[in-house]
Amino acid sequence: MPLAIQRRTPNQQLVLPDEMHPLLQRIFRQRTIQDASDLELGFENLLPPSLIKGMSVATELLYQYLLQQGRVLFVSDFDADGATSCALGIGALRELGFKHVDYIVPNRFEYGYGLTPEIVELALNKTPNLIVTVDNGISSVEGVAVAKAAGIDVLITDHHLPPVDLPAADAIVNPNQTGCDFPSKSIAGVGVIFYVMLALRSFLREQSWFEQQQIKEPNMANYLDLVALGTVADVVPLDQNNRILVNEGLKRIRAGRTRPGITALLEVGGRNRQALQSADLGFAVGPRLNAAGRLDDMSLGIECLLVEQSGQAFELARQLDSLNKDRKQIESDMREQAFQYLEDIALEAKNLPAALCLYEKTWHQGVVGIVASRIKEKFHRPVIAFAEATEDRTDDSDSELKGSARSIAGFHIRDALDAVATHNPGLISKFGGHAMAAGLSLNKRDFDTFTAAFQLEAERLIDTEQLKAKAVTDGALDPEHLNLETALLLQTAGPWGQEFPEPLFDGRFIVIQQRLVGDKHLKMILRPPEAEIDVDAIAFFVDLQQWPNDTAKEIEIIFRLNVNEFRGRRSLQLMVEQIVNYT
């Protein structure tokens, strides 16, 4: 689709230190910074656990089970946030003195999401006294009721938006529940369980537990590598508190103070641990963990994070890497099928409906979310991709479809699904999510009816301006800043991430050289028109029908500054995100 460049508007009222680099001042004024103190990432600025509603009840509950050495069972979500949350909770409780700690993670294809009654029945095989949910549970009203009826206590730790009626759990720790004063509402599930363990350690310290048991008090900072990984992988907004957690975790990983599983995942992902950035966790480690939950069983990912021996960690990391390769191939095939489908029905970007609903019988249920994201990025419309529930792969029109939805700015997709469900009772079996992503289930025979209803709701709420693809940048970059020093400056000014984006610039350059590398990436040497300096640049996965292009003498691009390391030498490289135009 045609791409418009929109430059961020600076907050000129923000007062920053005079000694701060002018470019950094400009960048930070274009971020969600209200005060210079928001940039202070020392651990002393971390919000205290006492601000989270339900924390004291949770710590007292855990303490009682510690005294009696009850059996604690974690029930995890099947994504990277859930896996890191589970590994953190298990490791911390064991260090604090719990002797009977175990976990189960629902297979998404058999049990679905959360603490369902079916999962509780499965949990009974492990005879727990206490179930602790991580990264799920806030909507598990029925599952909690089944657990309580079986005599099992339940502690819910979650970060998702709560329903009107909460589960009747013994304790709930979720900063998003009504009446909670914790300011960081965007904390990930792994951040929530980290806070619970911080609070429990402080409580045990007050009880002189460690002296009485003659055990070493655990250093909770040792778990910040998991917190950083889960926070980045779950793509939660990086407010100040989350940036503190991620920053501290990154520093520990760079210094080698991390668990063997993360080291192994970085190595199989081809990332340099010493130069690690948050993007490496998001694009190299997180997807490999998530591949287990998408295609198989997230237990493989959890075990990789728990294992203490490097050899075992590398073997598990290689299995996860293999699953991720399978996931990418499945995703690629599904994406091409979706694009072909749109071509077959003669839908081009200019006459697409306001929202897209796509279904193919052969699609994989674990990958439809990624496919929906890719199609949304290409056509800049809300997209819902459907697959048949794994157990329902028949020709029966009554079989169930599982949909994964992705949205664009300004269109709250969870609210849109709610409106469709309200106006069409019984059409959607169940749904949930938030503004930008959601999941739903419906009967296969109702797919066309749902598509029409959803597109009608999208047309009602989305105007034509919202459907125009925009690239939001930090503006042009002066030639004097096209150097390695600036790239290093921006790199160390992070961590960057969701709602605190890595600096992105736009500009025109003269094309000095261009060639294809790796069969699908465009390597270039570019020169700003107003300066006699040449810079290396690379654009990944270019349109091979258009590039290399000998007629392109000048090019307009959107780019990031990158530190390229090759054979021990570091140099500046422009990472081209978009080729906007050329002449």
What pLDDT, on the 0 to 100 scale, is given for residue 220?
97
pLDDT of residue 256: 95
Task: Please compute, for residue 332, the number of CA atoms within 13 A of its CA located in the half-sphere on the CB side.
Answer: 7
pLDDT digits (tens, 9 = 90+) for 236-287: 999 999 999 999 999 999 999 999 999 999 999 999 999 999 999 999 999 9
Is the pLDDT reported for residue 379 higher than 60?
yes
pLDDT at 439: 87
Q: Coil, helix or strand for 100?
A: coil
pLDDT at residue 212 is higher than 90: yes
Average pLDDT over residues 121-129: 95
Whole-number average pLDDT of the chain: 92
User: 213 or 464, which is more confident?
Assistant: 213
Q: Supply the pLDDT for residue 391.
A: 52
Confidence (pLDDT) at 151? 97
pLDDT in tens, 445-486: 999 999 999 999 999 999 888 888 888 999 999 999 999 999
| Cα separation values, 361 from 337, 392, 429, 526, Å | 11, 10, 19, 46
Q: Greater confidence, 534 or 565?
A: 534
> Can you tell me the mean pLDDT for 405-423?
91
Q: Quote the pLDDT of residue 500.
A: 95
Question: Which structural domains are found in the chain, ordered by start?
Answer: 47-320 (3.90.1640.30), 347-468 (3.10.310.30), 472-582 (2.40.50.460)
- CA separation, residue 227 to residues 260, 369, 446 (Å): 15, 24, 41
Q: Look at residue 383 in the predicted model and tell me its pLDDT.
A: 94
What is the pTM assigned to this prediction?
0.90
pLDDT, tens digit, for every residue of 55-83? 999 999 999 999 999 999 999 988 899 99
Give residue 108's pLDDT band: very low, low, confident or very high (50, 70, 90). low
Burial zone of 251 (CB within 10 Å; 0-12 exposed, 13-18 middle, 19+ buried): middle
- In the block, tokens 């975790």 appear at 249
Percentage of the chain exceeding pLDDT 90: 74
> pLDDT: is 571 or 346 the higher one?
571
Residue 558 confidence (pLDDT) above 60: yes
CB 528, CB 509: distance < 8 Å: yes
Q: What is the mean pLDDT of residues 85-89?
A: 98
In this prediction, residue 344 carries a pLDDT of 65
pLDDT over 70 percentage in the chain? 96
Return d(Cα 481, Cα 435) in angstroms, integer.
37
Confidence band of 490 (pLDDT split at 50, 70, 90) = very high
143 phi and psi angles, rounded to 5 deg:
-65, -40
pLDDT at 393 over 60: no
Ramachandran assignment for 527, one of left (phi > 0), alpha (psi -120 to 50 degrees), beta (any other): beta
Higher pLDDT, 348 or 319: 319
User: Residue 394 pLDDT > 70, yes or no?
Assistant: no
The pLDDT of residue 2: 59
| pLDDT at site 161 | 84
pLDDT of residue 397: 60
d(CA 26, CA 35): 14
Q: What is the pLDDT of residue 336?
A: 83
- Report which of residues 299 and 394 the model is more confident about: 299
Mean pLDDT over 430-456 rounds to 89
Tokens of 50: 């006492």
Q: State the pLDDT at residue 390.
A: 63
Phi, psi of 182 (to 5 degrees): -65, 120
What DSSP designation does 497 have? B
Question: Per DSSP, what are the bridge partners of residue 260?
Answer: none
- φ, ψ at 279 (rounded to 5°): -60, -30
For 139-183, what is the HEC assignment? CCHHHHHHHHHCCCEEEEECCCCCCCCCCCCCEEECCCCCCCCCC
* 557 alpha-carbon distance from chain centroid: 27
